[in-house]
Structure 1
Amino acid sequence: MSHTPQDTVVLPRRMKHLTVDRRGYPVIATVERSPREVNFGSINERRKLALATFDWCAVCGLPFANELRWQTVLEKGPLPSTVVSGEAPVHEVCALYAAQVCPYLFSSRSRLGDEARKGMVREGVVRFAGFEATSAVTVHESGLQPGVYTLHFEHRGQAEEFSYHEADEVRDRFAEALACEEELPVAGGEDVLVRLFNRVDDDGEGDVVTGAALAAGAAFAKDIFKLQGLNAFQGEHYPTVAGLLLRGTEQEIREFSAGARDEAFSAVGPWVLEHGGRFPVPLQRWRTRGESMVSRGRPHPPEGPGRSVAKNAPCPCGSGRKARRCHPAGTSPS
């Protein structure tokens, strides 16, 4: 019997919560998924927004804590002080695992599988750089697809790097990373959000965490509702909730969370309170921008039919989506 890379490469402890697809691949945080199909060739921008907001790894979907943010880079020679990429960053041990298992990374003969790059061969040498911080996340229009907007991650403070031609060149480094791997405990609101975000068995569940990300402050990011796949989230609802979580008192935030029908919305208020104003840099920048956008009056949580219909019923706003995914906390009264 032949063995595939995912059979022979040790799975990092922090990836063991991920669902495994029928071929044995762990379903990483950024890819499109549903109970019927996992599409590793399609990166989901809505999921990237959640990663940026909560400062999670694009492979395991867990927080970075004090670890470096690793990113593939195409530049040759010394890197500039700021590096911008359309890919979300990952932990080092997750990057090293992917280098040995991902069909598009482990071999110099690999062909890229997404529609935009179909038929292209992987770079001969893959270069990863580790950065101290993600300094900003912004929305940009694609240069290849006019009218399509995607997230770009800006990194500063390069601290380390590694490169390889074939996957076996990183095995020793991977073994060292496994030996030094630290637990990344999550608790409270973050534990709920991580669990919901990484599910595969409920179609679209990750979209609920996208809504929670908007509520935490991503709704204030410039051009955020132009982002690919965010049409269903447009309207005044999410900025209203974000305003509550920005300016509301602790009691108001807790009351909102207790009354929210959706589990992700129930968790995001506690997540905001647990962080006590110490947010990931991109989110803090969005929330600072929100300070000038939110009315000086006391914000109120949305009310209306979205909070009284069954969670699996069509949303009253007319989007065609289920109420729990479209307006989980309700729609503003007309």
Structure 2
Amino acid sequence: MTHLKVDRRGYPVIATVDRSPKEVDFGAISERRKLALAAFDWCAVCGMPFADELRWQMVLQHGPLPSSAISGEAPVHEVCALYAAQVCPYLFSPRSRLGDEGRKGTVRDPVVRFAGFESTSAVHAFESQLQPGIYTLHFEHRGQADEFSYRTPDEIRGRFADALEREKDLPVTDPEGELIRLFNRLDEGGEVAGAALAAGAAFAKDIFKVQGFGPYRDKSYPVVAGLLLKGTEQEIRDFSSDARDEAFSAVGPWVLERDGQFPAPLQRWRARGQSMVRRPTPSPPQGPGRNVAKNAPCPCGSGRKARRCHPSGVAS
């Protein structure tokens, strides 16, 4: 947690919550930040990448768990779930109540249950059944492989200590490290959500209907996403070097270094974009009958006359 910014009281500001330079709202989950977590495959607590490990979710059901599940919250590392149980007021005490307006007074279940899944297979934008017109992101997980539960954090202190003992620094490349740095700032983090759209999330179904994405409803993000999907390596590098937005400058190199190996949700969105994006039409050839006289030197540089060398023209 040492890389996280802290609020005025000194608490680490976890990845998924709303924030501003003046205020951090630990009770408000940001859909824009959830999109970045989904696209770049980051933990909802520490905001760092997942390696080959289970993705953990708090579950509310009792009895045997299904092999797959869908949740409105982004997944976390096991050690981050155990950490949250020690410090989050709602997860800490059986008498805790939620304080946000939508769920005010909701009491925590006597037993808190977390499940670990092998993969996050997809992320969907679903309309709320309680609030028509409001869309939120939901994470689909597959391969339930482990779980733990507790009434008070004392019951899992040993597991937390073991997880801390096993914890290792995660390797992070320079482009991803820059995205994480920007994402961790104490502001809306919207520009990293924009980078997630550019990486391919702009092709997700109903993504621009999701709460908080109104400012992104124009053609620029699908156009940039198309470039990062079908552009050449040089085109992507040129875009990144010319971008004024810091996150846009980092996301191009991130896409290139992945070399097609993307997190499953982002890979699904990019696959959907394949049928939505067309490569730009090449410039018309230069040559006789176009804009080069037939007896002029050929534009290819051979020194021969254009009508003899490239009578059909030379593509620019």
Task: Provide the TM-score with structure 1 as the length reference.
Answer: 0.83
* Equivalent AA in structure 2 for residue 184 of structure 1: L
Displacement, 1:123?
A: 0.9
**Alpha-carbon distance in 1 for matches of 2:199, 2:263:** 11
**Alpha-carbon distance in 2 for matches of 1:278, 1:69:** 19
**Alpha-carbon distance in 1 for matches of 2:155, 2:129:** 34
Paired residue for 2:224, among 221, 237, 241?
A: 241
Question: Over residues 66-88 of structure 1, what are the superposed CA-to-partner deviations in whole Å (9 max), with x where a residue is unaligned?
Answer: 12100001121222222000000
**What is the aligned partner in structure 2 of residue 159 from structure 1?**
145
**Alpha-carbon distance in 2 for matches of 1:298, 1:162:** 56
**Correspondence list, 1:53-64, <5 A:** 53-64=39-50
Conserved? CA contact 1:53–1:283, under 8 Å: yes
**What is the aligned partner in structure 2 of residue 104 from structure 1?**
90
* Equivalent AA in structure 2 for residue 35 of structure 1: P
Question: Over residues 177-229 of structure 1, what are the superposed CA-to-partner deviations in whole Å (9 max), with x where a residue is unaligned?
Answer: 000001112122101100000111xx33x101000000000000000000000
**What is the aligned partner in structure 2 of residue 332 from structure 1?**
none
Conserved? CA contact 2:66–2:144, under 8 Å: no
Please say if 1:265 is aligned against 2:248. yes
**What is the aligned partner in structure 1 of residue 312 from structure 2?**
none
Give percent identity, aligned residues only: 74
* Equivalent AA in structure 2 for residue 295 of structure 1: R
* Equivalent AA in structure 1 for residue 267 of structure 2: Q
* Equivalent AA in structure 1 for residue 195 of structure 2: A
Conserved? CA contact 1:99–1:167, under 8 Å: yes
Q: Which runs of 5+ in 1 are unaligned?
A: 1-14, 300-334
**Alpha-carbon distance in 2 for matches of 1:167, 1:112:** 18
Displacement, 1:298?
A: 5.8
**Alpha-carbon distance in 2 for matches of 1:298, 1:284:** 26
- Three-state SS of the structure 2 residue aligned to 1:83 is strand
**Alpha-carbon distance in 1 for matches of 2:62, 2:196:** 35
* Equivalent AA in structure 2 for residue 170 of structure 1: I
Question: Over residues 123-175 of structure 1, what are the superposed CA-to-partner deviations in whole Å (9 max), with x where a residue is unaligned?
Answer: 11110001110000000011222211100000000111100011111100000
Paired residue for 1:117, among 62, 81, 103?
A: 103
Task: Provide the TM-score with structure 2 as the length reference.
Answer: 0.87
**Alpha-carbon distance in 2 for matches of 1:113, 1:194:** 29
* Equivalent AA in structure 2 for residue 146 of structure 1: P
* Equivalent AA in structure 2 for residue 120 of structure 1: T
- Three-state SS of the structure 1 residue aligned to 2:56 is strand
Say if 1:270 and 1:111 are closer, same or farther in 2 by CA, change over 3 A: same
**What is the aligned partner in structure 2 of residue 223 from structure 1?**
206
- Three-state SS of the structure 1 residue aligned to 2:90 is coil
**What is the aligned partner in structure 2 of residue 179 from structure 1?**
165
**Alpha-carbon distance in 1 for matches of 2:281, 2:199:** 17
Displacement, 1:296?
A: 4.0
**Alpha-carbon distance in 2 for matches of 1:48, 1:160:** 24
**Alpha-carbon distance in 1 for matches of 2:156, 2:6:** 23
**Alpha-carbon distance in 2 for matches of 1:218, 1:255:** 21
**Alpha-carbon distance in 2 for matches of 1:295, 1:251:** 18
Conserved? CA contact 1:104–1:113, under 8 Å: no
Paired residue for 1:189, among 162, 168, 175?
A: 175
Say if 1:298 and 1:50 are closer, same or farther in 2 by CA, change over 3 A: farther
> Structure 1 residue runs of 4+, over 4 Å off?
none
* Equivalent AA in structure 2 for residue 141 of structure 1: E
- Three-state SS of the structure 2 residue aligned to 1:105 is helix
Displacement, 1:22?
A: 2.3
Say if 1:247 and 1:290 are closer, same or farther in 2 by CA, change over 3 A: same
Displacement, 1:277?
A: 0.3
Please say if 1:24 is aligned against 2:10. yes
* Equivalent AA in structure 2 for residue 292 of structure 1: S
**Alpha-carbon distance in 1 for matches of 2:128, 2:168:** 37
Paired residue for 1:289, among 253, 269, 272?
A: 272
**What is the aligned partner in structure 2 of residue 277 from structure 1?**
260
- Three-state SS of the structure 2 residue aligned to 1:136 is strand
Conserved? CA contact 1:104–1:122, under 8 Å: yes
